[in-house]
Chain A
Amino acid sequence: MSTDRPNLTGAGNPRLTNRMPQTDAATVALARDGNSEAFRALVERHSRAVYRLAHRMTGNPSDAEDVVQETFLKAYRQLGRFESRANFGTWLHRIAVNCSIDLIRSRPHREAAHDAADLEEIGTPGTQDTTQRTPERLMLSTEVQDRITEAMSTLSQRERAAFVLRHFEGHSIDDISRSLGLKANATKHSIFRAVRKMRAALEPFVASE
C-alpha cells in the first residue's frame, strides 16, 4: 500500500486543525501541494457556512448535504486554479452557489399553483397573541425566525432560489435569470411572489405606522 495515501485518522480532531496554519491562504498552499490534512482543515473551517448557504438555496437538508459534498469535491479538483490572492471563503461560496443551482436545475420543475392559499395560511399568525409584545422584542425572537423558516418552506424551488440569490447573495435579476435558465420576467415574478409570502408571514410582527 502506498505510504502517501491520505490519513484517515483523527477526523474532526481539534489537534489536527491546531497544527494547521491559521490563515486560509497558508492552508490552501499546503493543500495545493497535496497535503490532505490541510484540505481537511479547510473543510472543517468552512463546511458549516457552505451547508447554511446550500440549505437556504435548496430548502432541503439532504440536498444541502449533497451540495456540501459536491462543493468541496469541486474545490479540491480546482484548487490548482484558485488564485492565492483571492479569498478562499468567497471562492468556495461561489462554487457552492453554482452547485446549488446545478442541483435545482436538475430537478423537475414544480411551481406552487396555490399562491393565494399559501399567503392566507402564512398570514395567519397562529393562535399566539402578539399584541402584548413590543416589535423590538419580536424582531429578535425565535418566533420571527420560525415565521421566516415557515414562509421559506412554502416557496417553490424556483422562487426560493431566485429570492435567495437576489436577497441574500445580491445577484442581479439578469444574472439570476441566466443562472436558473429563466426569462427575466419569470425571475422577477418568482422574486415578487417570494417577497409577498415574506410580507404575509412577517407583517403581523414588524412595526407598522
Chain B
Amino acid sequence: MKNHLTEDDLILHYYGELAGHDEAIVAAHLGACKDCQKDFRQLQRVLAAVDESAFAGPELPEHFERTVWARLEPNLRRDRSGWLSWFVFSPGRLAWVSLVLVLVTAAFVAGRLSPRTGTPDAGAGADPTTAQIRERILLINVSDHLEQSQMVLIELLSGDDQQPISFAGERTRAGELVAANRLYRLAATAPADAGIASLLDDLEPVLIDIAASPENVSSQELDELRRRIESKSLLFKVRVVSQDVRQRQRTSVRERAGQRSSL
C-alpha cells in the first residue's frame, strides 16, 4: 500500500473489525510506515484515556439504591399480584377504569349518532373528541392523585415532632403514589397541562423520599423532609393546582352540557 492508512482504517484495526485480507494489508503497512505507526499510537493513547476514565457519569446520591427500590417496589408488587388483582384489591382503580370505558363508549356512540356536516378536514389533526376524553380522564385522575398526595403532605407537616415518628402509613401510601405520579406526569403533555406536569415533577422526588425513608424517622430527619416540602411551597402548589384542575373539570362539564343542549 503506497498511500497512508486513513483514520477509519486505524479505528477499524484498533477494534479488530477488519476482515482477513484487509487486516493483513493494514498490519503490513503499519509494520513498515513510521507515520502511520505514530498516528496509530496516538489513537491508542486517546482511546486508552477514555478507557481509564470509564466515563463514570454523574455522582449519585448516597440513598440512590433506596430511591430505586421505592420506585420499583410498587411495580413488582403489581406484577406479582397479576393484573386482575390490581383492580380487585383497589375498587377505586376499578371505578376509574369503568369510567374510562364508559367515556370511550359514550364518545363512540355520540360519534355514530351525531349528524355529519361537510367533509372532514384532512389537516385538522387529532380527533377533538379523543383529546377531550383524554383531558377529562387525566383531570379526574390527577385530581384524585393530588388529593391523596395532599393528605400525605399534611400528615407529615402537622405531626408531632418531639417523638420519633412511625412512618409506616405515609410510606406505604407514598410508595403507591410514586408510580401514579410518574404516569400522570408523562401523560400531562398538552400545553394546558404544563402547570400539572411541573407540580408532579416537584412532587415525585418528595414522594420517593417519603417512600424510601426508614420506618421510624428521627425528628431531625423529619425536619429535613419538612424543609424540603416547605422550601418548594409544595403543599401550597398542590392546593393551587388542585383548584385549577377542579375548575377545568367544571368548565369541561359545562361545555359538554352546552353541546348536548344545542343538539
Cβ of A69 and Cβ of B72 under 8 Å apart?
yes
Cβ of A11 and Cβ of B66 under 8 Å apart?
yes
Cβ of A10 and Cβ of B49 under 8 Å apart?
no
Q: Closest A-chain residue to B77, C-beta based? A: A6
Cβ of B49 and Cβ of A44 under 8 Å apart?
no
Residues of B within 8 A of A206 (CB): 42, 45-46, 49
Q: For the complex formed, measure the closest distance between the CB of B39 and the CB atoms of chain A, giving whole angstroms.
A: 10
Cβ of B57 and Cβ of A52 under 8 Å apart?
yes
Cβ of B76 and Cβ of A36 under 8 Å apart?
yes
State whether the Cβ of A91 lies closer than 8 Å to any Cβ in chain B.
Answer: no
Residues of B within 8 A of A152 (CB): 55
Interface size of B by Cβ–Cβ distance < 8 Å? Answer: 48
CB proximity to A under 8 Å, residues B161-192: 168, 171-172, 175
Whole-angstrom CA separation of A9 from B11 in the bound complex: 52
* The one of B11, B38, B73 that contacts A195, using a Cβ cutoff of 8 Å: B11
List A residues at the B interface (Cβ < 8 Å): 5-6, 8-13, 34, 36, 39-40, 43-44, 47-48, 51-52, 55-56, 61, 64-65, 68-69, 72-73, 76-77, 139-140, 144-145, 148-149, 152, 166-168, 172-173, 188, 191-192, 195-196, 198-199, 202-203, 205-209
Whole-angstrom CA separation of A168 from B47 in the bound complex: 10
Cβ of B49 and Cβ of A73 under 8 Å apart?
no
Whole-angstrom CA separation of A96 from B42 in the bound complex: 32
Cβ of B68 and Cβ of A77 under 8 Å apart?
no
24 A-B interface contacts by CB (under 8 A) = A8-B171, A8-B172, A11-B69, A11-B212, A12-B69, A12-B212, A13-B214, A44-B69, A48-B65, A55-B58, A64-B57, A69-B68, A72-B68, A72-B72, A73-B76, A148-B50, A173-B15, A173-B17, A188-B8, A191-B11, A192-B7, A203-B46, A207-B45, A208-B42
Whole-angstrom CA separation of A56 from B77 in the bound complex: 29
Cβ of A6 and Cβ of B7 under 8 Å apart?
no
Q: For the complex formed, measure the closest distance between the CB of A180 and the CB atoms of chain B, giving whole angstroms.
A: 16
Cβ of B42 and Cβ of A145 under 8 Å apart?
no
Q: For the complex formed, measure the closest distance between the CB of A92 and the CB atoms of chain B, giving whole angstroms.
A: 13
Whole-angstrom CA separation of A83 from B43 in the bound complex: 40
Q: For the complex formed, measure the closest distance between the CB of B93 and the CB atoms of chain A, giving whole angstroms.
A: 16
CB proximity to A under 8 Å, residues B51-67: 51-58, 60, 63-66
Residues of B within 8 A of A55 (CB): 57-58
State whether the Cβ of B26 lies closer than 8 Å to any Cβ in chain A.
Answer: no
* The one of A77, A145, A208 that contacts B79, using a Cβ cutoff of 8 Å: A77
Whole-angstrom CA separation of A108 from B43 in the bound complex: 32
Q: Closest B-chain residue to A73, C-beta based? A: B75
9 more A-B residue pairs beyond the given contacts A11-B70, A36-B80, A43-B72, with a C-beta to C-beta distance below 8 A: A6-B77, A34-B80, A36-B73, A51-B68, A55-B57, A55-B58, A73-B79, A76-B79, A195-B43
Cβ of A196 and Cβ of B172 under 8 Å apart?
no
List B residues at the A interface (Cβ < 8 Å): 7-8, 11-12, 15, 17, 38, 41-43, 45-47, 49-58, 60, 63-66, 68-73, 75-77, 79-80, 168, 171-172, 175, 211-215
Q: For the complex formed, measure the closest distance between the CB of A93 and the CB atoms of chain B, giving whole angstroms.
A: 14
**With known contacts A139-B49, A168-B55, A203-B42, A10–B215 Cβ distance under 8 A:** yes
Cβ of A69 and Cβ of B75 under 8 Å apart?
yes
Q: Closest B-chain residue to A207, C-beta based? A: B45
Residues of A within 8 A of B50 (CB): 148, 167, 198, 202
* The one of A12, A68, A166, A205 that contacts B66, using a Cβ cutoff of 8 Å: A12
Q: For the complex formed, measure the closest distance between the CB of B37 and the CB atoms of chain A, giving whole angstroms.
A: 9
In the A-B complex, the 8 residue pairs with the smallest Cβ-Cβ separation, listed nearest first, are: A12-B66, A55-B57, A44-B65, A206-B45, A47-B68, A9-B215, A202-B46, A148-B53
Whole-angstrom CA separation of A165 from B71 in the bound complex: 28
Residues of A within 8 A of B71 (CB): 65, 69
Whole-angstrom CA separation of A72 from B47 in the bound complex: 31
Q: Closest B-chain residue to A40, C-beta based? A: B69
Cβ of B68 and Cβ of A43 under 8 Å apart?
yes
Q: For the complex formed, measure the closest distance between the CB of A40 and the CB atoms of chain B, giving whole angstroms.
A: 6
Q: For the complex formed, measure the closest distance between the CB of B224 and the CB atoms of chain A, giving whole angstroms.
A: 15
Residues of B within 8 A of A61 (CB): 58
Q: For the complex formed, measure the closest distance between the CB of A144 and the CB atoms of chain B, giving whole angstroms.
A: 6
Whole-angstrom CA separation of A96 from B110 in the bound complex: 46
* The one of B43, B66, B213 that contacts A199, using a Cβ cutoff of 8 Å: B43
Cβ of B69 and Cβ of A51 under 8 Å apart?
no
